[in-house]
A and B are shown apart, each in its own frame.
Chain A
């Protein structure tokens, strides 16, 4: 049986034609603005000043390119992100292998300026461009038995040198409970600072879940599966006592080896010191209700 794609919804000649019109229009407009992504502002954006593009693109945890913070910027240039397709499978009405253009087609792009808190107790402010994950999930049709969403990163050791050693069981895996995945704060991001996503930040498409530690926001996604059981997640597989499935930012629940009570803001300067970490990374009003009745020290 042939898998359905978005081209079954919109005939290929039609969207090819649309692309040509858009491309032609863009070429006709100013060349320097070519890469700019059109994105609407969002009520979910913080008013805090974003980190510089330099900070955001030179200080990354993306172990597919090495464990050093500078490794992704140094090595991610070799990653080929076009063509790119995402397999969407599991408990969905329209499973298939979707071209990236199909995935993002008609999704309303917004700029979401989010706080980003790493489990290592540093933080940044990042102006992501993306769309709500719920928009995509609604289009593929989530079946009633689905309880969780599982994500996988690309495995391509020849372009991702970190994957040439097996300190992590590749692919990198992450997951969300369905209600977390459907929350309007949860986005699939395809760019930042108005430009397409830099490779070291998870090109061409990555998850951003701003109230959870950064490692939940999986990069360079090639697979999204709707499943009925809690999926395996990479850091939890590596060190279950230290990294839970939920990984919500929580100043009151320490990492077993270090405190999560405060954080250092990248780019704040040598003598800036620390700031208090906020419950759910400052998104408590929006997401606390998702965890009503749960003991967050147990479900860390």
Chain B
């Protein structure tokens, strides 16, 4: 076989931009690089010298899709530093706002970004001509997630109502009540979505991943838990940096996160699902089984089903929280600065998001570290591409490129969190 080159200059339908370079010589993949042109860690630098109370609002600006994740990891890290525990209804409200963000983010990715790959459309605009009802469903689902975030977060983008210790204002029961019917519709729509994506054709592709996610004693994880893996990892969040570190890759200005002595690991919906299937609500479990998804799944292309299942769960969980809600007396617990260091890790829609801060006795941030999920998945994306291309060299150039892009989108990479700009280059020499 002669050497080949496949070039795709722009990878669409991922959040942000970057570049992927796959080099094929004969029948062998010789090189795979995920090149991300990350600007200097602007936000980490920007946080230095600011007050600890500003961290949730500043970091919420990093990503327009998952501001709540940034706020949650920030507040948990600060509360860890200050020895504060937020529980009861305030804790429940944090889960509720996270439900809104998962619904929004998953609806967008499942329908607008990933489904066109499976249905053979260039994009959601083309897909909408043949599937207008499904696209309308996506828009409505996303809107409901948005309404939840807006109600609790104060506004839809860059929410401002989240603070260290709780919220600035908490909703009344009456304010939450109108959401119930909306969420019931959303839950039905999510079940329907799971049924639809379960009928898609999935490339045969499975790998022996190390999945890493939070695990909580009795909840599907959002804000709290231990960091666990299917290969024996079981650590408190505080030990994150003893087990994971970031490597600078010469071809990319971003940092790749790896596990010490073990290499790449997989974070996100598929990891959460494999490690926490037993913590899903019965309805979400049932939706998964009906769509043909076993409690364990190692095919990353099926992450689209998992996102749909998690959407069912998020609607279910939101309804449970609203049903049990009693307005707390105070919107937040008191926090007082002290010289300290704290860590937080929460489950963003795309996977674990780690924050660590050091503050002085007046509450000024001395340094910050933020590890977004996409930075943690980069090595896995590269190794997926290496294996996928190796096994599919007989595909036409067009089909191979299409499926490589699809393989990247399995991870819903939010390049804008870890960088700004994604181009895909599959080069066959």
A associates with B:
no
List the interface of chain A (C-beta within 8 A of B): none
Q: Which B residues are closer than 8 A to A by beta carbons?
A: none
